[in-house]
């Protein structure tokens, strides 16, 4: 298994940044290109290959990503785009999918696609089609269809991918587990795809506590997670969201903060070497010092002392 590679346009002269980025993404996924309002493009990317999984984690300002049809074996590969932060609109042939944080979409590498992106962070994986098709028999019907990140399967898949990157960053290459990583990836991706059906069948306007909790859990990394964005995801009014939280004896902001801190505590136990500042930003905090203060109020100790004590 390869080391995680890091790239950033800030290391390039402003006039050359967009050209640099286009060369990089074209080398990573054949036929891919970026259009942006200015050549002084601000972006960064982590790139990692585990067995037959070609993965990247790009962050950038608003842009449009295009991909030309991949000749030859493109039909044998599928691309997964998982929205970590921001919003995106994906188009391939006559299909279209709008993603919010936690959602993902599958597309064929054989056909060109276009993605309109706000300021964002994505997690992208290209992989052989056959392994997932063996687990999702109607895979072709699922392409370019939004897979809801609010389902239990969606949350598990999302957490698995993030924990995989954390492990890779902390421990480096480990060829002994890459086969198991790929198998788990396909199993959990299939679980998330199938689980999305249950969320859809409940109806987009149903304001249930379980759906509310699922949406919050799937989007803890979004710093913009608040009443309005939760209401948009549930397709209900902000007042409805506030009433649901009130019935739980809390408010939207307090509940989101509590869940972020609980997630932070779990991650620090599972990965004692995790960088606390990076963890704070990963969980939607804009200030690591504020994260530490909140953590101390919640658990009575600092994040570093918490992981040392457990």
| Residue owning tokens 């397709």 | 235
Q: Which pLDDT tens digit goes with each residue over 263-308?
A: 888 888 767 777 899 899 989 999 999 999 999 999 999 999 888 7
In order, the DSSP letters of 25-90 are: HHHHSTTEEEE-S-SS--EEEEEEEETTEEEEEEEESSEEEEEPPPPSGGGGEEEEEEEEES-EEE
* pLDDT at residue 310 greater than cutoff 80: no
pLDDT score, position 158: 84
Element holding 114 (H helix, E strand): strand 113-117
Mean pLDDT of 104-123: 91
Decide: 25 and 32 in contact? Cβ < 8 Å.
Answer: yes
Domains within the chain, CATH numbers bracketed: 5-201 (2.60.120.10), 209-309 (1.10.10.60)
- The more confidently predicted of residues 116 and 94 is 116
Q: Which pLDDT tens digit goes with each residue over 237-259?
A: 899 899 899 988 899 999 999 99
pLDDT score, position 173: 59
Rounded Cα distance, 179 and 189, in Å: 16
Rounded Cα distance, 244 and 233, in Å: 14
């Amino acid at each position: 298994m390869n080391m995680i590679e890091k790239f950033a346009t800030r290391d390039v002269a402003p006039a050359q940044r967009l050209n640099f980025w286009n060369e990089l993404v074209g080398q990573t996924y054949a036929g891919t290109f970026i259009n942006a309002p200015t050549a002084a493009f601000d972006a960064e990317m982590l790139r990692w290959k585990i067995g037959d999984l070609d993965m990247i984690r790009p962050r950038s300002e608003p842009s449009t990503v295009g991909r030309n049809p991949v000749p030859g074996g493109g039909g044998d590969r599928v691309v997964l785009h998982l929205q970590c932060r921001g919003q995106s609109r994906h188009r391939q042939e006559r299909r279209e999918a709008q993603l919010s944080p936690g959602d993902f979409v599958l597309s064929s590498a054989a056909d060109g696609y276009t993605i309109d992106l706000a300021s964002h962070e994505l997690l992208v994986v290209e992989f052989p089609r056959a392994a997932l098709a063996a687990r999702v028999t109607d895979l072709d019907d699922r392409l370019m269809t939004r897979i809801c990140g609010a389902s239990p399967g969606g949350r598990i898949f999302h957490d698995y991918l993030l924990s995989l990157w954390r492990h890779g960053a902390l421990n480096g290459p480990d060829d002994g587990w890459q086969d198991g990583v790929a198998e788990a990836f396909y199993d959990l991706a299939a679980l998330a795809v199938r689980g999305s059906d249950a969320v859809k069948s409940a109806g987009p306007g149903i304001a249930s506590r379980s759906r509310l909790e699922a949406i919050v859990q799937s989007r803890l990394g979004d710093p913009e997670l608040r009443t309005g964005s939760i209401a948009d995801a549930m397709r209900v009014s902000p007042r409805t969201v506030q009433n649901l939280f009130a019935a739980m004896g809390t408010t939207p902001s307090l509940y989101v903060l509590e869940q972020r801190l609980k997630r932070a505590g779990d991650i620090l136990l599972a990965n004692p070497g995790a960088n606390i500042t990076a963890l704070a930003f990963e969980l939607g905090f804009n200030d690591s010092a504020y994260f530490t203060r909140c953590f101390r109020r919640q658990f009575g100790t600092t994040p570093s002392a918490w992981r040392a004590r457990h």
